[in-house]
Amino acid sequence: MNVTYHLSSAEELNAEMLETIKATFKTKAIKIIVQEEEEERLTAEMKADLDYRLNEPTTQYITSKDSIDRLKNKYGV
């Protein structure tokens, strides 16, 4: 099981959070990783790909359901 907490500041950490983690995982081994939140930015390559997609003819669009179905069929996801 994975649990992710997103905090706007380390000041938000409190004893209640630790107690919740302890109650959830009890005697199981756990790993706690702390990392600074970084803003997600689009790379130039990502922007170029999105621009390319925006310029495609709308007649070639498929629905999100069709897209997911194709991915499931191709990759078994």
7-16: pLDDT as tens digits:
889 999 999 9
pTM recorded for the entire structure: 0.45
Give the number of residues written for the chain.
77
**Strands, E assignment, 1-77:** none
In whole angstroms, give the CA distance from residue 16 to residue 51. Answer: 46
Alpha-carbon dihedral angle through residues 48, 49, 52, 57, given to the nearest 10 degrees:
-160
- Given a contact cutoff of 8 angstroms between Cβ atoms, the answer to whether 2 and 10 are in contact is no
pLDDT tens digit string along 6-63? Answer: 888 999 999 999 999 999 999 999 999 998 888 778 889 999 998 998 898 888 888 8
